[in-house]
Amino acid sequence: MRFVVTGANRGIGLEFVKQLTERGDEVDAAARDPDDAADLRALALPGVRLRIHRLDVVDDASVRGLAEALPAGPVDVLVNNAGVSGVKGGEPIDPEDILRVFDVNAVGTLRVVRALLPRLRAGKTRKIVNLTSHLGSIADASGGRYAYRLSKAALNMATRLLAEDLRGEGFLTVALHPGWVQTRMGGSAAPVPPEQSIRGMLRIVDGLKAEQSGRVFDFQGRELPW
């Protein structure tokens, strides 16, 4: 299987690449600055089917460049992991921050999907996986974190729209919440190790069924309201 993983330089994206390459999958890993991704580069050992690419999801030219840089052949699974958290304190309604985070987390994902659709159409499984958060749930909203919550709610809608628009072509599109993970973004107080989160999400991705397309699940397979 051939995967493309964005935001692969650290945290959840890095762990996706690690587990995928360990089980023998072919991975094209994208990072905004590959020169500052030592942990990712360290995974590119002899015999490992890993290629590393530069990608800034808010830059149309960079996204086109990724599509052009990928070696020939189909892509089976796209994992849209690239994201930012936004300002966590201070002024709760910060329009500039909201627009910046929205551009990365929601619009950036759609830029990548648009650019890679021809490769995905040629793939065996035609799976699109968008990394979301329970903080994007409208049903469970508790206030605060405007930029991040709005961006993830929009991403959930984008997931549903892609599922409906591409269903006739056999695509499976899902939004996955990784849990509160022990990463730089999640912090040391987070209860879920990256290894556990990614193992759970890969089980979902590998077994994804048509009736699950367009829905939101956590890494344990529980459907989330949004």
Give catalytic residues, as residue numbers: 148
Q: Given the structure tokens 């991403």, which residue do they identify?
A: 155
> Which residues are registered as beta bridge partners of 182?
none
Q: Do the beta carbons of residue 163 and residue 213 sit within 8 Å?
A: yes
Strand order in the sheet with 26-31: 50-54, 26-31, 2-5, 77-80, 127-131, 172-177, 216-218
Residue 127 is classified by DSSP as: E
Decide: 100 and 149 in contact? Cβ < 8 Å.
no
Q: What is the C-alpha separation between 30 and 157, in angstroms, rounded?
A: 24
Residues in the chain: 226
- Strand pairing class (50-54; 216-218): unpaired
Q: How many CB atoms lie within 10 A of CB 56?
A: 19
Separation between Cα atoms, residue 32 and residue 24, nearest integer Å: 25
